[in-house]
Amino acid sequence: MLFIKSIKNKLWRVKKAIKNSLLERVLPYGFYFSHKGYCPCCDNKVTFKSKSHWLRDFFVCDNCNSIPRERALMLVIEKYYPNWKDLDIHESSPGNRGASVKLKNNAKKYIASQYYPHKPLGTVVDNFQNQDLENLTFLDESFDLVITQDVMEHVYNPKKAFSEIARTLKKGGAHIFTVPLINKHKKTEIWAVKGEDGKPVFTNTPEWHGNVVDPIGSAVTMHWGFDIVEFIKEHSGLETIIEHIDNIDYGIRAELIEVLITKK
């Protein structure tokens, strides 16, 4: 009897797993995609899953919840700077998952900053350095790597920001970053400017992205195109290359997936 009961329980669990798997594929968005592979952010064999066709934000690692652009960024860092764990690194506006967590937990000389506009620059707020990319308080040539993930579309004065990042880089260092190149082969467009009250004045349809330290979010100020390479060269003097990775085995398949490397 115990043997028969055990078989019935196993059959019930199999039926339930099949049912849940089928439901997962059709609900709630009518879209399901998964692929087994290796996550560069948590260094594990995982399954990447998405219930939305917008893979950029929803094709997640089932272990660390990283998304494609974070995994692409980590691959690029390890390609160009395999000794990154020993380098001086500044990450501006890190997230709480993916590449940011890996950098924080493994880089010996990692500094994370957020921007709190009403607090003194250079002070520590909630365990973060308070830094404005347009007016950094760091000394010249402080860092081997500066990392930003989807930040440069939110700065009001990117000329100053790219110049300041270049100033803080050591020779041989790099700004490695993701930014949605919305306009691609079209010219970059300014999407919002800073009003007298410090709030955004949109020149086009208002757009906001999430911000881990501000529930209001961050205004989109720029719609970048591939001409960002020339823009950076003009205002920082540094050369930039663009890496486009499409490797499903690393869970890197999505829209707007480019990683940019500006070397000093």
Fold of 68-111+140-263: Rossmann fold (3.40.50)
Residues contacting residue 174 through CB under 8 Å, at least 6 positions apart? 80, 81, 144, 145, 146, 261, 262, 263, 264
Query: Looking at residue 29, what is its pLDDT?
Result: 54
Segment (H or E) for 251: none
- Characterize 95-120 residue by residue with b for buried, 16 or more Cβ atoms within 10 angstroms of its Cβ, and e for exposed: bebbbbbbbeeebeebbbbbbbeeee
Give the angle 97-100-103 at the CA atoms, nearest 5°: 130
* Separation of alpha carbons 131 and 93, rounded Å: 9
- pLDDT under 70: residue ranges of the chain: 1-29
| Residue 223, SS3 per DSSP | strand
Residue 210 per-residue DSSP state:
-
Question: To which residue do tokens 């919840």 refer?
Answer: 65
User: Which residue intervals of the chain bear CATH 3.40.50?
Assistant: 68-111+140-263
| Residue 130, SS3 per DSSP | strand
Query: Looking at residue 216, what is its pLDDT?
Result: 78
Here the tokens at position 134 are 């347009």
Query: Looking at residue 64, what is its pLDDT?
Result: 97
pTM over 0.75: yes
Residue 46 per-residue DSSP state:
E
